[in-house]
Structure 1
Amino acid sequence: MQYRFFAGKGGVGKTSCAAATALREAERGADVLLVSTDPAHSLGDALGRALGPEARGVPVRGRGRLRALEMDADAALDRWIAAREPRLREIASRGTYLSREEIDRFFRLSLPGVDELVGLVELERLRRELEPERVIVDTAPTGHALRLLDTPALLAQLARVLDDMQEKHRQVASALAVGRYREDAEDALIAEIEGEARDARERLRDPERAAVRWVALPEALSVEETRDGLDALASMGVRVDEIVVNRVTPMPRARCARCEARIASERDAIGALLDRASAPVRLVPRLEGEPRGIDGLRALGEALGRDDHGRGLIATKTRATRPAPRARPAHPIGFVTDASLRLALFGGKGGVGKTSCAAAAAIAIAEQHPDRRVLLLSTDPAHSLGDALELRLDDEPRPVPGVEGRLDAREIDATAELARRKEEHARGVDAVFDALRGGSRLDPVLDRAIVHDLVDLAPPGIDELFSIVAILDALDDAYDLVIVDTAPWGHTERLLALPATVREWVKALLAVLLEYRGVIGLGGLAEDLVALSRSLGRVVETWRDPARTAFVPVTRAAALPRAETERLLGSLASRGMRVPSVIVVADDDRDGAPRCGPCARALADEADERRALRTGDAKMVRAPLLAVPPRGVRGLRAWAREWEVAR
């Protein structure tokens, strides 16, 4: 097995499981390379040591070897382009009407989605240069991990664009050489990229060389996302060799209302997963204490390697039913975010509860301000907002039943919107070239193919642009407040940087169109680009206006989420974004229910983590960590009534 990818919904423990597996295999004698491709790296936090883009040794017992690194995708892309830049430039100059200066401008642009674009290529480079026996990969959360695994299709598409450009040169050279054409270095580059795409596809589809280990939690939302992820991997032909259900609650040794409630809920979720599982299922118990550092990861690794796959965890019987929610009166939720704002973005590390927090806050605000029209919007490519609301959602806003106010909800389908825009522009390209038949200076067949390919070739992450456009449109569509459930932090940070990045793309594309103006005219594409540039400028202004926009980080009272939250707060401060509060989802003892020893110790540990979290000027809001996660309008409403300002 050359590659094993750990994938799944954010916050399920992918990083810990990947690190624990790598440590276990190294201590059994293997030479292992452990790599994080998540732009919001937490692998170093899990191992308890500083990591960077260069492989560093991790001490292990026995004769095995473990090296670890956190991938720097921008540096990896720069390295890949630098090795091929002269040939890429030559192909671009042969196949387009761009000047050398304009080609240079494109090479200086940042690429949205660079971590997904270059991830597989960089992994293969590392494997060849470092020669480990196996590579274990900690991926980004679901939607972005699936894009990473779809890299072969993007490489093949790039090779096709370059080949169409090179074909113009081949035809001219053949005409000048009376039908004879000799392949050159540029043809070799195209063949190289085609080979990389083919090899990557074959490697991922070979069950002897690559497999995915899917990590989930014994919770309804995680099970739903697991089903969707497994279906997507099956359509790619990628094998899932095991489904790891992490943090399964073991039967307590003493009376514990929280453990018993969790077990009852988890039994339902695990049963639903087993009914649909297309791979072996392993149950891993909730460990006492966070599996952090070598000793903590070693204990998790032992659980991941048990021969019984943890099946004894579902053989237990519960002694209690789920606790009934406590009835509490509604209270103003202004301590979370000012309801007079136009835009509130909820974000954080995957799995901390940001979707539930965004939904609960939206319900509370809509009911406390019935005069305001509120939209609850999900920009996470792996949506779970509909599951949290127990409502079927799609790309059209729809009212949320049961809310005593005006609340709509929507899950943005950015991929579908990108496909629609591509099709729209492709029709525009055909219309232009159809009008040029006859006296044009262009070769209609080749130039048409090249422009079509360029329209179709979009780096991963560009579809998130349409999430931004959708937010802006919602603000223009008479919504008084838009509450956004964002993707996990690494990709939300990319979303926040995207307007500036895309504006540079737009300026470069407009410059190209101006060069082509005398040949094909500007057409509707130029008008779209000008309108987009103006919209992106408005987005940046809106995000940086504290009277209109706020960002509400959501975190858990544990070491890894706390470390990432503090990095998140630093990034938001550097972008000039207002942070009125930080929601910490944590256990509390207000219910007075009996607790077992591990739950009592976990409560004390969480209190320590809350005290250690540095939130600056932002208020800390404590949302209780329920034994059974809240779902539906009634459950989310009741949960929001439990929130309180901690300090």
Structure 2
Amino acid sequence: MTDIKTKYLFFTGKGGVGKTSLACATAVEMADAGKVVLLVSTDPASNLKDVLESQVDEQIKPVKGTDRLFAININPENSAEEYRNRVTQPLEGIASKAEIKKIREDLSGACTTEIASFDEFSRFVSGETEGTKFDVIIFDTAPTGHTLRLLELPAAWSSFTDENPEGASCLGPTSALKSGKERYHTVVNRLRDASLTSFYIVARADKASLKEASRTSNELKELGMSNQLLYINGVFKAIDKNDLLAQKIEAIGNEQLNSIPDNLKTLPLKTFPLLPYNVLGILKLRSLFNSELQKSISENNLLKSETHIQVLKGIDQLVDELSANQQYGLIMTMGKGGVGKTIAASAIAVLLAKKGFEVLLTTTDPAAHIQDFIEQLGELPSTLTVERIDPKVETQRYTEKILEHKGQGQSEDAKKLILEDLKSPCTEEVAVFHAFSKAISMAKRKFVVMDTAPTGHTLLLLDTAGSYHRDIMRNNINAGRLRTPYMSLQDQTLSKIILVSLPETTPMREAGDLQNDLKRASIKPYAWLINQSLSMLSGISDPLLKSRANAEIEVIKTIKTEYADRTFGIPFIAEKKLLPALIDEHLNKVII
């Protein structure tokens, strides 16, 4: 790790690419080299405790098995709740309970959580607190561009009540921030200082992951944070050259590595191989930067015996169940980023249409990958309609409307703050809400299959629906006869939520967390769909792939026994044209 010379290291990238493993491995490597290291996570689904095999919570604690490594997990939800309390506490006895409740609701979105998380971790960069004790501080996840841009606006720090009476729905009163304006500017200046801070963009050798890495790199550069390195994780190299599946996986990965987006080609690049073992514990973390240790552990973990084939109902059987007793309904695929929600939604829609049902396939995902899959088919079934709720168009309309209303009589700085506030993911979800409502209405006449955005956006969408529901019920004297979108989502006969996960521990836990959030809103998922399962395939001879397949068994067992009422699976498909392969009639046979 001699290439690392800065005090602050940030690891960022799309979900499921291995940020935490690489951040932890880097921390262990630097501690072994004699540095006193602090590892900080602001991931709400952090698995630092599992990866380090050591107790990690919201207090700085030493990591077992190392001499100079310490870790802390900042829970963003707890930070956001403390932030809301600091905002509303001074108002108690002054404002009414209803007004305080509304302020808390306004500060319940993801943007508030971003601000509160930034507020917490900034103290480690500012040098005013515990950060001075450490030679190196490594952050598993970086602050978003929206957070940094928002706090950079002069109006964000103006008097909340006097100069910015409308307020900012994401930010709230800056008096509730622990970090003052001076500390914030100190932190941002250090993030921009290439001699102090490095950004490690982590990706996989696949198109979607590299596209996200490219976007992240550009956003950081726009913010003046140009000291970037690219880590590509999980690169597969076949061991058994006679295994056709292994050959295909390696060839597709190599093709992606050879077509890295142009802006990433200028970054220092390091690749890490796909391993036959989960990187858990200090020894295995050390192996990521030690090829001899890696080889030793791999030889002990490579599975040379036969694997047990995992029997799961296929996506065609899921479609049979969804259409068994009705000819209409809303079907939503949900899950963390990168698990395959879009391919699942596309396949469900096409298979329903092939049965002769009227089907609308739509997406609220800003990345809009649906069209990429649909174009692989060539000819579409006559009963299938594909459309996209364009977030940019909807957001532009909404932004113009809000600016016209809130900007009247405001200073230019206040207008800038309102405009920046409206650039948040929250605004995008509000903007697409009416189109979302329309889709639900159509689901009473035909099948509507909706590919939703990644987990955080999805929850915001549902929270928006819930807020709309509460307003309607509170303000309408005929509310008893109304049926809001939120009520439709709770109706299990009309709406079916499909949770998509990979057969890996972290995606499983994140889908489980999403399921719990949905249940708190009285929305019960219909089924889990496990994507890219090697253990559903027979005929694998490559030892590395066999080991990976074997590791899936326990995860799938946990999903079936602890999480899902119904479980379905999609086998791993090594094809560039995934959708035609997935809807093939031989779905549950060996696909190579």
* Alignment TM-score > 0.5, same fold: yes
> 2:212 aligned with 1:225, yes or no?
yes
Q: Residue deviations 1:562-595, cap 9 Å, x none?
A: 3334444444444332333211225457765451
> 2:41 aligned with 1:36, yes or no?
yes
Report what 1:560 is aligned to: 506
- Are the counterparts in 2 of residues 344 and 484 from structure 1 also a CA contact under 8 Å? yes
Report what 1:470 is aligned to: 435
Query: SS of 1:221's equivalent?
Result: helix
Taking a change above 3 Å as real, the CA distance of residues 303 and 495 of structure 1, as seen in their structure-2 partners, is: farther
Matches within 5 A, 1:497-512: 497-500=463-466
- Are the counterparts in 1 of residues 403 and 419 from structure 2 also a CA contact under 8 Å? yes
In the alignment, which of 610, 613, 619 is matched to residue 566 of structure 2? 619
Matches within 5 A, 1:92-491: 104-109=100-105, 110-113=107-110, 114-127=112-125, 128-131=128-131, 132-139=134-141, 148-157=144-153, 159-160=155-156, 162-163=158-159, 165-166=161-162, 193-239=180-226, 241-253=228-240, 255-273=242-260, 276=263, 277-302=265-290, 333-335=318-320, 337-338=322-323, 340-369=327-356, 371-379=357-365, 381-390=366-375, 402-414=379-391, 417-428=394-405, 457-458=421-422, 461-476=426-441, 480-491=446-457
Q: Residue deviations 1:231-268, cap 9 Å, x none?
A: 33322222252111111112415532222111111111
- Are the counterparts in 2 of residues 28 and 64 from structure 1 also a CA contact under 8 Å? no
Taking a change above 3 Å as real, the CA distance of residues 413 and 104 of structure 1, as seen in their structure-2 partners, is: same
Report what 1:52 is aligned to: 57
Report what 1:522 is aligned to: none
Q: Distance in 2 between matches of 1:43 and 1:21?
A: 13
Q: Distance in 1 between matches of 2:183 and 2:389?
A: 33
Report what 1:436 is aligned to: none
Report what 2:3 is aligned to: none
- Shift of residue 270, structure 1, vs aligned partner: 0.3
Report what 1:394 is aligned to: none
**Structure 2 residue identity aligned to 1:41:** S
Q: Residue deviations 1:437-484, cap 9 Å, x none?
A: xxxxxxx566x9868855764565343233443321223457723323
Q: Distance in 2 between matches of 1:162 and 1:573?
A: 40
Taking a change above 3 Å as real, the CA distance of residues 468 and 43 of structure 1, as seen in their structure-2 partners, is: farther
Query: SS of 2:347's equivalent?
Result: helix
In the alignment, which of 490, 494, 499 is matched to residue 548 of structure 1? 494
- Shift of residue 347, structure 1, vs aligned partner: 1.9
Taking a change above 3 Å as real, the CA distance of residues 583 and 50 of structure 1, as seen in their structure-2 partners, is: farther
**Structure 1 residue identity aligned to 2:123:** R
- Shift of residue 54, structure 1, vs aligned partner: 3.0
Matches within 5 A, 1:558-597: 558-588=504-534, 593=539, 595-597=541-543
Q: Distance in 2 between matches of 1:53 and 1:14?
A: 20
- Are the counterparts in 1 of residues 361 and 386 from structure 2 also a CA contact under 8 Å? yes
Q: Distance in 1 between matches of 2:317 and 2:85?
A: 56
**Structure 2 residue identity aligned to 1:65:** L
Q: Residue deviations 1:32-88, cap 9 Å, x none?
A: 332332333333333345543333332233x4222131x2224324545666778x8
- Shift of residue 548, structure 1, vs aligned partner: 1.1
Query: SS of 2:72's equivalent?
Result: strand
- Shift of residue 287, structure 1, vs aligned partner: 0.7
Q: Distance in 2 between matches of 1:274 and 1:304?
A: 32
Q: Distance in 2 between matches of 1:417 and 1:41?
A: 33
Query: SS of 1:166's equivalent?
Result: coil
Q: Distance in 2 between matches of 1:196 and 1:635?
A: 54
Taking a change above 3 Å as real, the CA distance of residues 230 and 382 of structure 1, as seen in their structure-2 partners, is: farther
Q: Distance in 1 between matches of 2:384 and 2:563?
A: 32
- Are the counterparts in 1 of residues 155 and 414 from structure 2 also a CA contact under 8 Å? no
- Are the counterparts in 1 of residues 505 and 555 from structure 2 also a CA contact under 8 Å? yes
Q: Distance in 2 between matches of 1:465 and 1:547?
A: 26
Q: Distance in 1 between matches of 2:216 and 2:483?
A: 35
- Shift of residue 99, structure 1, vs aligned partner: 6.1
Q: Distance in 2 between matches of 1:468 and 1:355?
A: 19
Taking a change above 3 Å as real, the CA distance of residues 474 and 38 of structure 1, as seen in their structure-2 partners, is: same
- Shift of residue 285, structure 1, vs aligned partner: 0.6
- Are the counterparts in 1 of residues 43 and 75 from structure 2 also a CA contact under 8 Å? no
Q: Distance in 2 between matches of 1:340 and 1:137?
A: 49
> 2:587 aligned with 1:642, yes or no?
yes
- Shift of residue 289, structure 1, vs aligned partner: 1.5
The answer for unaligned runs of 5 or more in structure 2 is 1-5, 166-172, 295-313
Query: SS of 2:10's equivalent?
Result: strand
Taking a change above 3 Å as real, the CA distance of residues 76 and 235 of structure 1, as seen in their structure-2 partners, is: same
Query: SS of 2:225's equivalent?
Result: coil
- Are the counterparts in 2 of residues 475 and 481 from structure 1 also a CA contact under 8 Å? no
Q: Distance in 2 between matches of 1:590 and 1:452?
A: 53
Report what 2:170 is aligned to: none
In the alignment, which of 536, 541, 546 is matched to residue 600 of structure 1? 546
Q: Distance in 1 between matches of 2:248 and 2:283?
A: 30
- Are the counterparts in 2 of residues 332 and 368 from structure 1 also a CA contact under 8 Å? no
- Are the counterparts in 2 of residues 212 and 242 from structure 1 also a CA contact under 8 Å? yes
- Are the counterparts in 1 of residues 490 and 522 from structure 2 also a CA contact under 8 Å? yes
Query: SS of 1:20's equivalent?
Result: helix
- Are the counterparts in 2 of residues 33 and 135 from structure 1 also a CA contact under 8 Å? yes
**Structure 2 residue identity aligned to 1:136:** I
Query: SS of 1:222's equivalent?
Result: helix
In the alignment, which of 60, 76, 79 is matched to residue 76 of structure 1? 79
Taking a change above 3 Å as real, the CA distance of residues 99 and 494 of structure 1, as seen in their structure-2 partners, is: closer
- Shift of residue 222, structure 1, vs aligned partner: 2.2
Q: Distance in 2 between matches of 1:138 and 1:285?
A: 20
Query: SS of 1:349's equivalent?
Result: coil
Q: TM-score, normalised by structure 2?
A: 0.78
Query: SS of 1:26's equivalent?
Result: helix
Q: More displaced, 405-414 or 12-21?
A: 405-414
Taking a change above 3 Å as real, the CA distance of residues 470 and 42 of structure 1, as seen in their structure-2 partners, is: farther
Q: More displaced, 233-242 or 4-13?
A: 233-242
- Shift of residue 543, structure 1, vs aligned partner: 1.0
Q: Residue deviations 1:89-137, cap 9 Å, x none?
A: 69xx9xxxx9677764454334201332222221112454322333322
Taking a change above 3 Å as real, the CA distance of residues 240 and 272 of structure 1, as seen in their structure-2 partners, is: farther
Q: Distance in 2 between matches of 1:502 and 1:39?
A: 26
**Structure 1 residue identity aligned to 2:286:** R
Q: Distance in 1 between matches of 2:385 and 2:188?
A: 41
Paired positions, count:
543
Report what 1:326 is aligned to: none
